[in-house]
Amino acid sequence: MKLYIAQATCSLAVQLVANELGLNPELIHYDVFDKTTSANDDFSKVNPLMYVPALVLDNEERTQLTETIIIASYLADLHLAAGLIPAHGTLERVKFDQLLTFVATEIAQKHIPLMRKLQTEFGTEWTRAKLVSAYAVLDERLADGRPYLTGDKFTVADAYVWATMWQERSGAQIGHLKNLMAYIDRINARPAAQKALKDEAEVVARHQELKAA
């Protein structure tokens, strides 16, 4: 499998899930600034919208998957016994997919226009408030002392939230959400999270070297 990633983006969620499952996708770095990849290929052929993450499977069709929650859920579904996601066809799964959609739409995608400074002053204020409220919902979930969003076990949802902590770049004040901050520290301490950051740094550095050569 080939996994297209970019630095400090939602692709870290898929890297973390893959690491938790002991998978080793080949990482390809997509440089969001100059649009090149470390495989020297045309990323628009993988995702016409030029968004990471994108996963290319090893099957005969070389199926290309996009959308963070779809890729992460697909990998977790293939290894259901690892417990990173509830089984399809259960109410637990429906509620889990609800949570993933919440993270995608109310958190990850709310950050993007803020980080890119695309909005009016009013829009910025509105979006930041929505973002802080969404993180506060997660903080409240964690208030009963559970270590992870759905309980005792780390899941795909935790990987996704961990990968979207871009509050400094988007100016969202969430430092007061103590349960959330302690939870992120807990995920930071996971070997799979540390490996994701290390692998990302290595593939970014390799790509820069290739460009400089």
Ligand X SMILES: N[C@@H](CCC(=O)N[C@@H](CS)C(=O)NCC(=O)O)C(=O)O
- Pick from 16, 18, 46, 52 the residue near ligand X by CB under 6 A: 52
Using the rule CB under 6 A, is 32 a contact of ligand X? yes
Using the rule CB under 6 A, is 46 a contact of ligand X? no
Q: 133 is written with which tokens? A: 């409220």
- Could you tell me which stretch among 6-14, 81-89, 117-125, 133-141 binds ligand X (CB under 6 A)? 6-14
Cβ-proximal residues to 128 (8 Å cutoff; 6+ apart), any chain: 114, 170, 171, 172, 173
Toward ligand X, which CB reaches closer, 34 or 152?
34
Using the rule CB under 6 A, is 204 a contact of ligand X? no
- Could you tell me which stretch among 16-24, 48-56, 133-141, 182-190 binds ligand X (CB under 6 A)? 48-56
Q: Per-residue x/- marks for ligand X, 90-129, CB under 6 A?
A: --------------x-------x-----------------
Q: How far apart are CA 123 and CA 212, in angstroms?
A: 40
Near ligand X in 58-77, by CB under 6 A: 67-68
Q: How far apart are CA 131 and CA 163, in angstroms?
A: 15
Pairing of strands 26-29, 2-5: parallel
Toward ligand X, which CB reaches closer, 11 or 155?
11
| AA identity, residue 169 | R
Using the rule CB under 6 A, is 50 a contact of ligand X? yes
The H or E element containing residue 64 is: strand 64-66
Q: How far apart are CA 160 and CA 105, in angstroms?
A: 12
- The answer to whether the beta carbons of residues 187 and 160 sit under 8 Å apart is no
Residues that bind ligand X (CB under 6 A): 6, 9-10, 32, 50-52, 67-68, 104, 112
